[in-house]
């Protein structure tokens, strides 16, 4: 059987024909995961679906935590996937060629002070950054603050990119720069990538140069 967020199950409908499906809403991660574990404990072979990589802002950690909290002795295998930062980078060119950081701007489960401190450290260390959950309808201030932090450490012409629905049908992308980044349409399903001092725009692609003698 296959357990997942409704939208993700729709995306893999071609793979699940004939299988039992349990879909749930966006904010029901714990309930969804508990259902998967309990059914597995009863003997079912259960696939718990995340988009991208289940181990990066996905369901893998929660599954291990809940398995323990519920005292369920079920085997778990975690299948890695292509995380949204990789899919977005491939669409934009090759901005993650070298050292980078991945930070989510959602402060639902982590306090903003911690996130802000991480952004400042990454900005100062000239790391390329991939931002997950950059903005939602109700949460807009965090992205503004993140861009201000990078703007204080990097020139306005630093390449930046936005990819929405990375790697999926309907993917859209924009290559811009740090100064104009906030003018782009950025939402919950977008990934924002901000380059560093060696990131360049080459023939429309965003590339962080690795330093090969070319």
Residues lying near a copy of itself in the complex (CB under 8 A)? 29-30, 53-58, 60-69, 78-83, 86-87, 89-91, 93-104, 109-110, 114-115, 117-118, 120-122, 124-127, 167, 202-203, 205, 207-214
Six-digit token string for 171:
């993917």
- The least CB distance from residue 177 to a copy of itself, in Å, is 18
Closest to a copy of itself by CB, 89 or 181: 89
Indicate the DSSP class of residue 157.
T
Full 3-state SS string of 81-92: CCCHHHHHHHHH
Q: Write down the residue that tokens 């879909």 correspond to.
A: 23
- The least CB distance from residue 49 to a copy of itself, in Å, is 15
Alpha carbon distance 143, 135 (integer Å): 6
- The least CB distance from residue 9 to a copy of itself, in Å, is 21
Closest to a copy of itself by CB, 170 or 211: 211
Backbone φ, ψ for residue 34 (5° rounding): -65, -40
Closest to a copy of itself by CB, 103 or 143: 103
Closest to a copy of itself by CB, 20 or 65: 65
Helices (H), 54-197: 60-69, 84-92, 112-124, 141-153
């Amino acid at each position: 059987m296959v357990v997942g967020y409704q939208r993700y199950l729709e995306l893999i409908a071609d793979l699940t024909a004939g299988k039992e499906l349990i879909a749930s809403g966006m904010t029901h991660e714990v309930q969804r995961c508990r259902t998967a574990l309990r059914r597995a404990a009863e003997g079912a072979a259960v696939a718990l679906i995340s988009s991208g990589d289940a181990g990066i802002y996905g369901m893998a950690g929660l599954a291990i935590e809940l398995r323990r909290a519920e005292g369920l002795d079920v085997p778990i295998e975690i299948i890695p996937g292509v995380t949204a930062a990789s899919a977005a980078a491939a669409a934009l060119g090759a901005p993650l060629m070298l050292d980078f950081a991945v930070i989510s701007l959602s402060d639902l489960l982590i306090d903003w002070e911690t996130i802000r401190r991480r952004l400042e450290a990454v900005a100062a260390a000239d790391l390329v950054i991939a931002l997950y959950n950059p903005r939602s309808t109700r949460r807009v201030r965090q992205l503004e603050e993140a861009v201000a932090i990078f703007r204080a450490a990097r020139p306005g012409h630093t390449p930046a990119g936005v990819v929405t629905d990375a790697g999926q049908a309907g993917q859209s992308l924009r290559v811009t720069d740090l100064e104009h980044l906030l003018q782009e349409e950025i939402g919950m399903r977008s990934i924002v990538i901000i380059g560093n001092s060696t990131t360049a725009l080459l023939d429309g692609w965003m590339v962080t140069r690795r330093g090969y003698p070319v």
